[in-house]
Amino acid sequence: MKKMLDFGRRALFYIRVLSGYEERKIRNHRLQLEQRLRQAQERKEALRKIPEQFILSEVRRMVEEMQNLNKKIDEIEATFDDYFKPINKQAEIIMKTQLEGEENSMKDMMKAMQTRALLEKYEAERKASVNDADAERKANVNDADANQSNQETEPTTKQHAQIR
C-alpha cells in the first residue's frame, strides 16, 4: 500500500512538472521575493538620503506629544487645586487652632513651673532662715552657758586670788 501511495505522489509531481504548474508556482514565488527585496532596498535608500529629516520629524512629533501631556497635567493639577481648596483652608484653620491650643498649654505649664520654682525658692529661704534662727538661738544659748560658766569660774578665781 505504501508503494502505491509513493508511486501516486511521484506521478502527480511529474504531471505538475510536465504541465508547468510547479514551474509557474516557483517563478511566482521568486518574483514576490524579488519585489519585496526591491521595496526594502528603496526604503533603505530613502532613509539614507533623508535620515536627518526623518529623525527631526520623529523628534518634533515626540516633543509635541510631550507638550500636550504637560498641558493635560497642568489642567489636571489646576482641577485638583480647585477641588481641594476648601479642604486645605479647613486644614489650615484646624492646624492654627491646634497650635494656639498647644501654645496656651505651654504658657500655662511655664506659669505653673515658675510659680512652683518660686514656691520652692521661698520654702528654701524660709528653711534657711529657720536654720539660721536655730543656729543663732543655739549660739545665744551657748554664749549664755559660757557666760554662766565664766561667772561661776570667776568667783573661784577671785576666791583663789583672795586666798593667796
Domain span at residue 18 reads 1-49
pTM of the model: 0.34
Q: pLDDT tens across 16-28, in order? A: 777 777 778 888 9
- Residue 39 is assigned to a structural domain of this protein: yes
What residue ranges of the chain have pLDDT lower than 70?
Answer: 51, 141-164
* The pLDDT value given to residue 115: 94
pLDDT at position 15: 79
Quick check: is 35 in a domain?
A: yes
List pLDDT tens digits, range 120-139.
999 999 988 888 888 787 77
* AA letter at 88: N
- Share of the chain residues as helix, strand and coil, in percent rounded to the nearest 5: 100, 0, 0
Task: Look at residue 23 and tell me if it is in a domain.
Answer: yes
